[in-house]
């Protein structure tokens, strides 16, 4: 069974997808409403050891549907979702949302 993972950052890059999942993922452009992107500093050593920047993006809910984020809905398997969990910084959590297309997708945000 496939899942949707909404990416607004590094997982949109093919190089990152191959490194995390071993393949380039099928993705569709989509929009997430009611959130804003903010920059935060990552201190998770295991994440930084993968060559990622200290400055990363995360989402914060605003409750305002005029706040939108353009990204990519990536089709992943349940096993690949677990790989994504391992890839993301330790303080990020996964949450289900509904995208503008109607797809129910997972997002990662700093907790």
Integer Cα distance of 101 and 32 in angstroms = 9
pLDDT single digits (tens) 4-27: 999 998 899 999 999 999 999 999
Burial string for 56-65 (b: 16+ CB within 10 Å, else e) reads: bebbeeeeee
Burial of 71 (0-12, 13-18, 19+ CB in 10 A): buried
Indicate the number of domains in the chain.
1
**CB crowding 3-30: b at 16 or more within 10 Å, else e:** bbbbbbbbbbeeebbeebbeeebebeeb
Helices 78-87/14-21 angle, 10° precision: 110
Lowest mean pLDDT among 20-24, 51-55, 79-83, 95-99: 51-55
pTM: 0.83
- CATH number at 101 reads 3.10.490.10
> Which residues partner with 79 through β-bridges?
none
Q: Which domain holds residue 79?
A: 2-110
Say how far apart CA 47 and CA 42 lie, in whole Å. Answer: 8
């Amino acid at each position: 069974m496939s899942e949707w993972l909404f990416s607004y950052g590094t997982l949109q890059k093919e190089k990152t997808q191959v490194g995390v999942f071993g393949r380039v993922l099928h993705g569709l452009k989509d929009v997430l409403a009611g959130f804003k992107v903010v920059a935060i500093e990552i201190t998770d050593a295991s994440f930084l050891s993968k060559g990622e920047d200290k400055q990363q993006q995360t989402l914060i809910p605003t409750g305002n549907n005029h706040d939108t984020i353009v990204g990519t809905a990536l089709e992943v398997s349940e096993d690949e979702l677990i790989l994504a969990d391992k890839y993301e910084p330790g303080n990020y959590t996964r949450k289900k949302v509904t995208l503008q297309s109607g797809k129910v997708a997972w997002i990662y945000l700093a907790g």
